[in-house]
A and B are shown apart, each in its own frame.
Chain A
Amino acid sequence: MTQDEHKEGIKGMANPSRYGIERVAYWLMRLSGLGLLAYFVAHIYETSNILRGQVGWDEFLELTQTTEGHLFLAIVIAMCVFHTVNGIRVMLGHGGVGVGKPARPDYPYDPASQNYRHKIGIYSAIVLAAIAMMYGLAVMFGE
């Protein structure tokens, strides 16, 4: 933090604890986006191993067949599902869909844009991500 501008900085931006589930969704969206970007880079590196021929390809693919590899892929599945479902919610919101209508506010001023439709969207994204991750784990570690 520079005292000149007194900005909260990344620490404040990433703190999801003070402003309800909407800020948690904001934080998860950033986190999953960065995670998927990292996976995308790793995926390009992984597939580039095909240039080493079948032996090189098989060697690298074995890394994903380990316990750590399965856990990594399960997290990727969860990030992908959350980012997709929450992304659709956010895109609709960005177009002004489901954010309520302007009206004279009455105390205690519950913001209409933070309504139950968006909360359901956020919780749905989290639940679907968890289900997809568990399904992925069941497939990868399945008998």
Chain B
Amino acid sequence: MAQVSHIADEQGSTSISSSKSITLRIARYNPEHDDSSQFMEFTIPYERWTTVLEAILEVKKHFDHSVAVRYSCRQATCGSCGMIINGKPRLACFTKISELNSNVVTVEPMNNFPIIRDLAVKFERLFDTHHKIKPYLIRDDTELESNEKEFLQSPEEVEQYIQFANCIKCGLCNSACPTMATDSSFVGPQALAQAYRYVADSRDKGKDSRLKIIDESHGIWRCHFAGSCSQVCPKGVDPAMGIQFLRGYLLGFRS
């Protein structure tokens, strides 16, 4: 019993207490028995620093534990808590309620991803397309066999791809992409940006094989440079830039 009261005290000390509050609208949908999604509304107190994820967890703790949401690190590193917040794809842990400037916060599952339940979506396609572009260094030799033990790079060479190595596979770019909205077979900005990440890496020798993979009807040519992917990226990856550089290789502007 002592342990139980301790947990209760700890929960009490971490709950949000504020005079300010918002209406949190959460999309509820279970594909096993619902025809369409419905919104449930909760009044949640918040502080200046309260994130949308904390508000959702407050709902789970005090109102409805059955709300399905995927999260882990709470610091924009794991890429688990992507969702549509007030109409735009964002990370729930990286979005403060105060910065939304709205008394109503609506959270929905990410677009262009099949829904598992409520706010949790399936990532299989994203991981499949990511795997398809061979997201690893391609070389004839390996680090283990090399006499140099490691592949040396200059800071300038690192600068060419390090921005794209920040991708956390959260899927926000795929959710914002207008082509993904209508084309299920499009490889998507996440995978294309990662293709550029390895093509631009001076240690990699797999440029031709990657360009061949993306040079197809549902590949890179379906990108029309709307740039929405770059605007929603929470890590500054700028997929639109990488995609245009990749296309530059295919069009002969770059070598």
Chain A interface (Cβ within 8 Å of chain B)?
3-10, 12-13, 18-20, 22-23, 25-26, 29, 90, 93-97, 99-100, 102-107, 109, 111-114, 118
CB distance from B53 to the nearest CB of A (A): 19
Classify the interface of chain B: helix, strand, loop or mixed.
Answer: loop
Q: How large is the interface on B (under 10, 10 to 19, 20 to 34, 35 or more residues)?
A: 35 or more
Query: Contact mask B228-252 → A, CB, 8 Å, 1/0?
Result: 1011111111101110110110010
The 30 listed contacts between A and B (C-beta, < 8 Å) are: A3-B115, A7-B180, A10-B181, A10-B182, A18-B87, A18-B88, A19-B88, A19-B232, A23-B178, A23-B228, A26-B178, A26-B224, A94-B247, A95-B244, A99-B240, A102-B162, A102-B163, A102-B164, A102-B245, A104-B163, A105-B237, A109-B235, A109-B236, A111-B236, A112-B238, A113-B240, A113-B244, A114-B227, A114-B231, A118-B227
Contact B36 A23 (CB under 8 A): no
In the complex, what distance in Å separates the CA atom of A143 from the CA atom of B115? 62
B109 interface residue, CB < 8 Å from A? yes
Contact A4 B114 (CB under 8 A): yes
In the complex, what distance in Å separates the CA atom of A22 from the CA atom of B227? 6
CB distance from A30 to the nearest CB of B (A): 8
B151 interface residue, CB < 8 Å from A? no
Contact A102 B230 (CB under 8 A): no
Chain B interface (Cβ within 8 Å of chain A)?
29, 31, 36-37, 87-88, 109-115, 121, 159-164, 166, 176, 178-182, 184, 200, 224-228, 230-238, 240-242, 244-245, 247-248, 251, 253-254
